[in-house]
Structure 1
Amino acid sequence: MSSSEIHRPDRLHGLDALRGGALLLGVVLHASLSYLPTPIWLFPDDQTSPVASVLFFAIHLFRMTAFFLIAGLFAHMLLGRRGTWGFIKDRLMRIANPLFGLWWVVFPAFIAVIVWKAAIDNGGAIPTDGPPPPPLTLETFPLLHLWFLWVLLLFYAAFLLLRAPVAALDRNGAVGRLFDRLTGVLIGPWTPIVLAAPLAVALWATPDWIAFFGIPTPDKGFVPNPASVVAFGSSFALGLMLDRRRDLLVRIERLWLVFTVMALGTGAGALALAGGPGLSLDPVTDPSLKIATACVYAVAVFTSTFAVTALSLRFLSGHSAVRRYLADASYWVYIVHLPLVLVGQVLMLDAPLPWWGKLGGIVVGVMAVALISYELLVRHTFLGRFLNGRRIPWRRSRQPVLAPAE
């Protein structure tokens, strides 16, 4: 009997752990940028390795599609619990408020670290002859790593707008039952290939597409690029459908080995077609190669997404106090991590360590600072209610505090 059949809590611990893990892996992803063989980051280090490229590529392949898949499932769950207005109020409090409130803390901190590094390079004085900052427009607004909150808000709005007329017309539930049957047909070993088809087209149509970076990150401007909308939107939509068919999570779990083997094969193929661990920054220009690379990369995205989802359902579905704590803390950690990563990268530039030692030191240091600040400033304060939907008292009562799933 599978673990998800044994543990059937209202809170899906395996998926909650994966959601938290996807956010926490952002620390590793951004920390690894300094150690890629080709300098692409603000603070490139002398210690580099192609292994860092493989690490970055592997994490970037599945992290956000897995996150949006779970976000869609939890969104449908929350709507069923709280209704439309309750859903809107919750999302405004826990998604819109952190985006528009904490951006004004994170972005200045991000700029402050850049200015600090410039002052170090300038003998301790802040340079005054630099170019003026670009104007902030709707197309250039730097969302940084908080872009996913804006995209989530867009998806929530689209979900509610599309759902309203269907719910009004589908009085007997026929449309809902049709979607449920379609979801049942969709889920199987073929699912990643079906989902990959529109993404492959979107990647192929992306001008100057750099295959190594896969889905272009919509971190600049308020209109996300088409490839990201297709990739993350299809994941989010499937999550919505899966919450209606929770029984299909067991089917996904049982395919964990199949999805894992598929992910390893297609992921290796995508990396090879993207130029290998040496990290090529050249856009794919040859039409035949671009088609092949887009197809393989798109399949790799969804095979890896379903692999980590199935593995989480199979091996992480039991309750764990540590995983639960980290899942709760992951939202705060991700929001504040990027300026901390930059500080760590600057401090490690002259450290007499190999690249993996520097990377490990940054990750451990950032996690320590972020988790301590979460415990002291967030978990037991009003910020905990805004981020996690509840505030945990300093002295817990005997009755457990129930938390929303996302």
Structure 2
Amino acid sequence: MNSRLYYLDSLRAILMLLGVVLHSAAPFTQSKYWLVSYSNSSLFLDYLNASIHSFRMPLFFMIAGFFSLMLIERMSSAQYLRNRVLRLLLPCVVVLFTFNMLQALVLTYFSQSYEGFDLENILSHWQGHFSISHLWFLINLFIYCCFLLPAAWLTHALFKDALARLSIYRHNKSLCLILGMLALPMLNTLVLAIGQAGLPIYETFFIVGMPYYLVYYSIFFFVGAWIFSFKDLLSIIEKQTYLWLTALLVTSAVLYFHPFDNNNIEKVVVSYLEALRILVLCLFIWSVFSRLVVQNNVILSKLSNASYTIYLLHHFFVVALVVLLIESGLSLPPIPAFLLIMTVVYVLTYVIHAKVINKSAAMTRLLNGK
């Protein structure tokens, strides 16, 4: 990888690792929205989770789109699809039928311990708890990658060459690229239209999760691919930190202070502005990080190598440790309890990666697709 892209590799890893923060904090939030909840909670952790959630997955999918198109340029179609199956689907299936099954057993025990052990209901409880859980993004990413392969060819054949011949593009390349990128959040209105049509995009399905997220996050994935398509745009994003900050403040102010009505036109405007606000927030973080990480860093490199394993395994350990904490009867303050769970999970999953996964070619293939 070119040295100037070390920051993207590190940023992608940090976004993965923030998932551990998110899920370790979830049992201690006041909203009680997660799989298990601790008796003591903190509103601060609700705000922490909301802050992380606002940018983590959109920015992750942007970077994934960027690197996916890079792979398409470097590989044949068959090599690209094989790489995506090994890197995305294989670890997903392995973790789904190992750690996620164990997680379902832990949750079944936890629910039954309060309801009384009824053997007739244990299987139905286990089936209810067995889900794709935190692995949903791998399915989404694989679907996007499959669509990207023909889309990349069509874009180059039908659009990119024609765009280069336009006079306005040759004289105002930076402006055209920025406007093209900022037009992509209009796809968010497609989510609104699909929902208005009555299709079940807000229901959760076993494999694909919630279709709403499948459509919504595709915006950011294809923004990332757009950035890679036009090399000049990457330089613009890296340099225009204050432009993205200004755009973020303006869109946030408009959404907060403007009294939007509930008619269809204003719903479309709000839908676009909300996606645009998240996009410019991601661009701002992207730009800032490009300035902070200017060369390869040993610590970030090790974390980057371990981040996939840590994310895949962490969910089970968070659930198991929180259930153990609840069953122990200990009453800990929520923030120290969150920090304890998070630290133990980070250390435990990193050690598993370094001492088990990294030492075995078979385990590396199964859990990292390498």
TM range (shorter): 0.7 to 0.9
In structure 2, the partner of 1:27 is: 20
Structure 1: runs of 5+ lacking an equivalent: 1-7, 208-215, 274-284, 391-406
Closer, same or farther in 2 for the Cα pair 1:97/1:187, shift >3 Å?
A: same
Superposition pairs of residues 153-302 of structure 1, within 5 angstroms: 153-164=142-153, 174-175=161-162, 177=164, 184-185=174-175, 187-188=177-178, 194-200=183-189, 202-203=191-192, 206=195, 220-223=205-208, 225=210, 227-260=212-245, 262-263=247-248, 294-302=271-279
Superposition pairs of residues 4-403 of structure 1, within 5 angstroms: 9=2, 12-118=5-111, 120-121=113-114, 126-128=117-119, 130=121, 133=124, 142-164=131-153, 174-175=161-162, 177=164, 184-185=174-175, 187-188=177-178, 194-200=183-189, 202-203=191-192, 206=195, 220-223=205-208, 225=210, 227-260=212-245, 262-263=247-248, 294-349=271-326, 350-382=329-361, 383-385=363-365, 387-388=367-368, 390=370
Counterpart AA for 2:332: L
Taking the aligned partners of 1:145 and 1:287, their CA distance within structure 2 comes to 35
Per-residue deviation, 1:384? 2.5
Taking the aligned partners of 2:256 and 2:29, their CA distance within structure 1 comes to 14
TM-score, normalised via structure 1 length: 0.74
Taking the aligned partners of 1:175 and 1:378, their CA distance within structure 2 comes to 48
* Aligned residue-pair number: 357
Per-residue deviation, 1:270? 7.0
Taking the aligned partners of 1:204 and 1:342, their CA distance within structure 2 comes to 37
Taking the aligned partners of 1:174 and 1:292, their CA distance within structure 2 comes to 31
For the Cα contact (< 8 Å) 1:17–1:312, is it kept in 2? Answer: no
Taking the aligned partners of 1:95 and 1:49, their CA distance within structure 2 comes to 35
Counterpart AA for 2:143: L
Taking the aligned partners of 2:125 and 2:132, their CA distance within structure 1 comes to 14
Per-residue deviation, 1:385? 4.3
Taking the aligned partners of 1:117 and 1:267, their CA distance within structure 2 comes to 42
Cα deviation per residue 1:178-209 (whole Å; 9 max; x = unaligned)? Answer: 79979844554x678534333255257647xx
Structure 2: runs of 5+ lacking an equivalent: none
Cα deviation per residue 1:266-301 (whole Å; 9 max; x = unaligned)? Answer: 56987999xxxxxxxxxxx96689667645532332
User: RMSD between aligned alpha carbons?
Assistant: 3.8
Cα deviation per residue 1:310-362 (whole Å; 9 max; x = unaligned)? Answer: 12212123211111111111111111111111122223334443211111111
State the SS of the aligned residue for 1:130.
Answer: helix
Taking the aligned partners of 1:39 and 1:355, their CA distance within structure 2 comes to 13
- Percent identity, aligned pairs only? 22
Closer, same or farther in 2 for the Cα pair 1:80/1:293, shift >3 Å?
A: closer
Taking the aligned partners of 2:205 and 2:79, their CA distance within structure 1 comes to 30
Closer, same or farther in 2 for the Cα pair 1:166/1:238, shift >3 Å?
A: closer
For the Cα contact (< 8 Å) 1:141–1:220, is it kept in 2? Answer: no
Per-residue deviation, 1:262? 4.7
Taking the aligned partners of 2:291 and 2:13, their CA distance within structure 1 comes to 16
Counterpart AA for 1:372: V
Taking the aligned partners of 1:80 and 1:174, their CA distance within structure 2 comes to 16
In structure 2, the partner of 1:213 is: none
For the Cα contact (< 8 Å) 2:101–2:130, is it kept in 1? Answer: no
